[in-house]
Amino acid sequence: MATAARWLGEGACIGMPTETVYGLAANALDAAAVTRIFAAKNRPYFDPLIVHVPDLATVDQLVQAFPAALADLAQRYWPGPLTLLLPKREVVPDLVTAGLPRVGIRMPAHPVAQALLKATHFPLAAPSANPFGYISPTTSAHVYAQLQGKIPYILEGGPCTVGVESTIVGWEDGQAALYRYGGISVEAIEAVVGPLRLCLNESSNPAAPGMLTTHYAPRKPLYLGEIGALGAQFMTQKVGILAFGTLPELPSPYAVYSLSETGNLAEAAQRLFTGLRTLDGAEVDVILAQPVPNVGLGRAINDRLRRASA
């Protein structure tokens, strides 16, 4: 912890655990440090970063206003996998928000992340610690495999328990708006703030950047659909299957990674990115995946699978 805090204090960017995915963290208030995040990730500057805070007092230093409905959400789901878009103060570098007027703020629940935030005395900007467009990391080994040589340090926190990124929520024209499906379900958000306006950008020049159609993508082609039909279509190729629940009879698949044999969506979310990486690294030509039930965390899983297949 002391070593990690020292690197951050010197303006470096390092790998850090959170309950959703591993992040690539740097001092959010130091534009030079933040630049190193973009360089290590090969991330375009139009894609803004989420700022991680230890407590609500830090939020007050970073934002001008906190709409009551979003404060209710923070009260209910922080610390946790929820990011709120709030009007930023000048102290937040424009680099962090890609020039946008709002800053994404999240209070992570992972105890190692919380301890690190307390040790640094400044908020941490941190995107997921993967090369831009690739699968997000849910273990320190994932981070090491892709960013070794580019960052000086990774703080170990064990495998991530949630496994998909935070849900992103903002406030527009008197209504709560959803920008990304994530670790807190739509149902759980709507229980607090009422019906959400969906602002899930799908274009390549999005108003809420980063929600590009192609994202979270393995290097192998991924096809999303009904496994039985897809399996028949790709019979002559080496096939990797990302399974959910029990599998239909198939012509000898080459590799199977089960997200959850019992059909548990939380378990499937937790295993999703490891499953994609495992099949991407296996000796297969194509990856086949099926959509999971589109409820609760299933929406976040289906969203990532759609982007992985685009």
What is the closest distance, in whole angstroms, from the C-beta atom of residue 133 to Mg ion in the complex?
Answer: 9
4 binds ligand TXA (CB under 6 A): no
Exactly one of 168, 230, 284, 292 binds ligand TXA (CB under 6 A); that residue is 168
120 binds ligand TXA (CB under 6 A): no
Exactly one of 166, 185, 274, 302 binds ligand TXA (CB under 6 A); that residue is 166
What is the closest distance, in whole angstroms, from the C-beta atom of residue 289 to ligand TXA in the complex?
Answer: 21
Residue whose beta carbon is closest to ligand TXA: 210
17 binds ligand TXA (CB under 6 A): no
Q: What is the DSSP string of the chain?
A: -HHHHHHHHTT--EEE--SSS-EEEEETT-HHHHHHHHHHHT--TTS--EEE-SSHHHHHHHBS---HHHHHHHHHH-SSSEEEEEEBPTTS-HHHHTT-SEEEEE----HHHHHHHHHHSS-EE--BSSSTTSPPPSSHHHHHHHHBTTBS-B----S-SS-SPPEEEEEETTEEEEEE--SS-HHHHHHHH-SPEE----SSS-SSTT--SS-S--SS-EEES-HHHHHHHTTTS-EEEEEESSPPP-S--SEEEEEETT--HHHHHHHHHHHHHHHHHSS-SEEEE-PPPSSTTHHHHHHHHHHHH-
What is the closest distance, in whole angstroms, from the C-beta atom of residue 212 to Mg ion in the complex?
Answer: 10
23 binds ligand TXA (CB under 6 A): yes
What is the closest distance, in whole angstroms, from the C-beta atom of residue 76 to ligand TXA in the complex?
Answer: 17
Is the CB of 90 or the CB of 249 nearer to ligand TXA?
Answer: 90
What is the closest distance, in whole angstroms, from the C-beta atom of residue 130 to ligand TXA in the complex?
Answer: 8
74 binds, among ligand TXA, Mg ion, none (CB under 5 to 8 A by kind): none
Exactly one of 128, 260, 270, 274 binds Mg ion (CB under 5 A); that residue is 128
Exactly one of 29, 95, 103, 301 binds ligand TXA (CB under 6 A); that residue is 103
Q: Are 222 and 291 in contact (CB under 8 A)?
A: no
Phi, psi of 117 (to 5 degrees): -65, -35
Q: Of 129, 121, 136, give the one whose Cα is nearest residue 155.
A: 129
How many positions of this chain bind Mg ion (CB under 5 A)?
Answer: 1
Q: Of 272, 243, 189, give the one whose Cα is nearest residue 20.
A: 272
Is the CB of 5 or the CB of 103 nearer to ligand TXA?
Answer: 103
What is the closest distance, in whole angstroms, from the C-beta atom of residue 126 to ligand TXA in the complex?
Answer: 5
Exactly one of 27, 58, 120, 128 binds ligand TXA (CB under 6 A); that residue is 128
218 binds ligand TXA (CB under 6 A): no
Q: Where on the chain is the footprint of Mg ion (CB under 5 A)?
A: 128
Q: Where on the chain is the footprint of ligand TXA (CB under 6 A)?
A: 18, 20-21, 23, 47-50, 81, 83, 85, 97, 100, 102-104, 106, 126-128, 165-166, 168, 179-180, 208-211
